[in-house]
Amino acid sequence: MSNPNFGVWRPMAENVEFNALDSNSNAVMAVADTVRTTLGPKGLDKLLIDQAMNRHISNDGVTILLSLRAIHPVARMIVEIAERQEQLVGDGTTTAVVMSAEMIKEGKKLVRELGVHPTKVVEGIESGVKHACSLLEAETKIIKLNDNMLEQVVRTSLSSKLDGKHLSSLVISALHTVGNNAMFNGSYNFDKSILVIRKTNMDDKVVNGIVLERTRLDPEMPLEIKEPKIMIMKMNMKPVKDAWLKENSKYQDILTMENDRLSKAKQIVDSIIATGANALLIASPEVDQVVEDLLVAKRLFAVRISTEEIEYLSRYTGAKPVRMLEDLSNQDILGSSSRIYENEQNQVIYVENGSHQNIVTVIISGSTKETSQERWRAVIDGINAAEAALNNGVVAGGGSAELHIIEKVKKLRLKGLEQVGLDVVMAALESIMRQILTNAGFNGLEKVMAARSSPEGFGIDINTGEPVDMWKMGVIDPLLVKTMALKAAAEIAKSVLRIDRNLAAEDLSPQALSESKR
Ligand code: ADP
Ligand code: MG
């Protein structure tokens, strides 16, 4: 059925590839076949091998797709859409790919066997997907931060990952630690409030604070300050440029300049100390050696930070960035936390319990770069699933929500031939449960039939094969992951079905296109 050689794509001799629908749908099937067996908790792993014979074992749809060396243009299109799904909702990529393959398979039948015009099929898909999304919305339950269901969403989302149980506990602990402080304008935003960093030399843990992968400005500074008064420095801390000193060769001039440098440096450090600050987060481009020495002498804690780090350190500690000397006399420029300290061994700095308590950090270990990358991605998936669940609610998982709306989608009445496009959507809605169960070693179709005749919310227990209530089992998915996956699948299917020729073209780079417009 699928073309194993999808990676090699060449337009034919006359620069025209006939039968584009066959070629393109084969490419989709081939991509889908590589990831479909990973779907669900019983999904299998893939061994990825690159040209240098580096190996990596993965169970993650996106990781696999991104590492495929697929050059068929349609295969690349799927990879891009999958990547976008990952960016938008951060989960449900395999689901989207499996559904798109199903839509294309069904759509192709309609076009080829029944002679339905592709535009009719496409219009049917559009209406069907829209309707399916609103039906799923109607099934949605709203959840809160302390609901048990939040934990279940995270566990469901990570159930297919290596080490998923342990990673979900980390995610849940992070969610509870940051709590409602992760709300911005009425909705949860964990992008802003849960930082996830990879550290191969450290153990997994959740830190109630910010972890900077940095060391103190000077090793003679104190290692730790309790109840620090934190200042964020953006101001230039180099009063006299080195170049000036070098260029000026007259001894007297140098002396004047050195004295000037010393007194300006003193002025800066004295004004900092006058504010009561004892921990400096320095984002200034340069720090004069004299300033540094004075800070060491006064036993201040200081660490360099990047300008990107200013925003969240300021939001977390309440410190307002200081841009010039005059700012130092402003009120409320200092932030606070319960402790700031460096772990010398791991070369990280902790800012714990900032006054606003709106950020936590999850540290993810991993013996190799690839494992830590995959564990990191899994944790991000879990966090994204939690965010989507809290903001938009949840539906029954395991493909159950999709399966039980099929009958209702069927009842939708569209004009003329568009009606047949609904079959495409219904096939896709059924494919998720079927695939999850096939991957669990059952006859997928047979089990799907059994689930279909059970009440709403029911699916199949992947261990026993018996119908069970997915809500009771705690297998639940965020609505958003489902609707976005459905839309992404439809997008792929629509583009593939609409194409009747693949043509080899001259330069299609954006630059060439904009020139030809002129
Ligand atoms: P994706 O890349 O699409 O997120 P996953 O491999 O993460 O793919 O699988 C997600 C699917 O697995 C969801 O539909 C989810 O409901 C389902 N799932 C997770 N745990 C179970 C379970 N215990 N029983 C049945 N289905 C499950
Ligand atoms: Mg997933």
Q: pLDDT tens, 13-30?
A: 444 455 788 888 888 898
280 strand-pairing partners: 231, 302
Question: Which residue owns the Cα nearest ligand 1 atom 2?
Answer: 94
Does the pLDDT of residue 55 top 70, yes or no? Answer: yes
Is residue 211 within 8 Å of residue 337, measured between CB atoms? no
* pLDDT single digits (tens) 321-355: 999 989 999 989 999 999 999 999 999 999 999 99
Kindly state the percentage of the chain with pLDDT values over 90. Answer: 65
Measured distance CA(440)–CA(210) in Å, rounded: 41
Does the pLDDT of residue 12 top 70, yes or no? Answer: no
Residue type, 155: R
Q: What is the pLDDT of residue 404?
A: 96
Looking at the chain, how many residues does it have?
A: 518
What is the average pLDDT across 91-113? Answer: 92
The mean-pLDDT minimum among 108-122, 186-200, 230-244, 287-301 falls in 230-244
The CB of 239 under 6 Å from ligand 1? The reply is no
Does the pLDDT of residue 403 top 80, yes or no? Answer: yes
What is the average pLDDT across 62-77? Answer: 81
* pLDDT single digits (tens) 114-132: 889 999 999 999 999 999 9
Q: What is the pLDDT of residue 5?
A: 45
What is the average pLDDT across 358-373? Answer: 89
The CB of 398 under 6 Å from ligand 1? The reply is yes
Does the pLDDT of residue 358 top 90, yes or no? Answer: yes
Q: What is the pLDDT of residue 247?
A: 67
Encoded tokens for 261? 């440098």
The mean-pLDDT minimum among 157-171, 225-239, 493-507 falls in 493-507
Closest ligand (CA of 488)? 1
Does the pLDDT of residue 205 top 50, yes or no? Answer: yes
Kindly state the percentage of the chain with pLDDT values over 70. Answer: 94
The CB of 38 under 6 Å from ligand 1? The reply is yes
The mean-pLDDT minimum among 13-22, 50-59, 415-424 falls in 13-22
Q: What is the pLDDT of residue 3?
A: 44
Higher per-residue confidence, 335 vs 418? 335
Question: Which residue owns the Cα nearest ligand 1 atom 9?
Answer: 40
Encoded tokens for 241? 């440029």
Does the pLDDT of residue 201 top 80, yes or no? Answer: yes
The CB of 63 under 6 Å from ligand 1? The reply is no
The sign of the dihedral angle between the CA atoms of 488, 493, 496, 498 is negative
Ligand 1 centroid, distance to 92 Cα (angstroms):
8
Ligand 1 atom nearest to CA at 462: 24
Ligand 1 centroid, distance to 328 Cα (angstroms):
54
Q: Across the chain, what does the average pLDDT equal?
A: 89
Q: What is the pLDDT of residue 517?
A: 54
Query: How many C-beta atoms lie closer than 10 Å to residue 249's C-beta?
Result: 8
Q: What is the pLDDT of residue 53?
A: 86
Which of 45, 154, 433, 436 has most ligand 1 atoms within 8 Å of its beta carbon, as the pocket-test mutant?
A: 436
Ligand 2 centroid, distance to 142 Cα (angstroms):
20
Q: What is the pLDDT of residue 454?
A: 95
The sign of the dihedral angle between the CA atoms of 53, 54, 60, 66 is negative
* Of 199, 230, 193, 227, the residue nearest 212 (C-alpha): 199
Question: Which residue owns the Cα nearest ligand 1 atom 23?
Answer: 475
Ligand 1 atom nearest to CA at 60: 2
Is residue 376 within 8 Å of residue 196, measured between CB atoms? yes
* pLDDT single digits (tens) 238-270: 877 776 666 666 778 888 888 888 999 999 999
Q: What is the pLDDT of residue 364?
A: 94
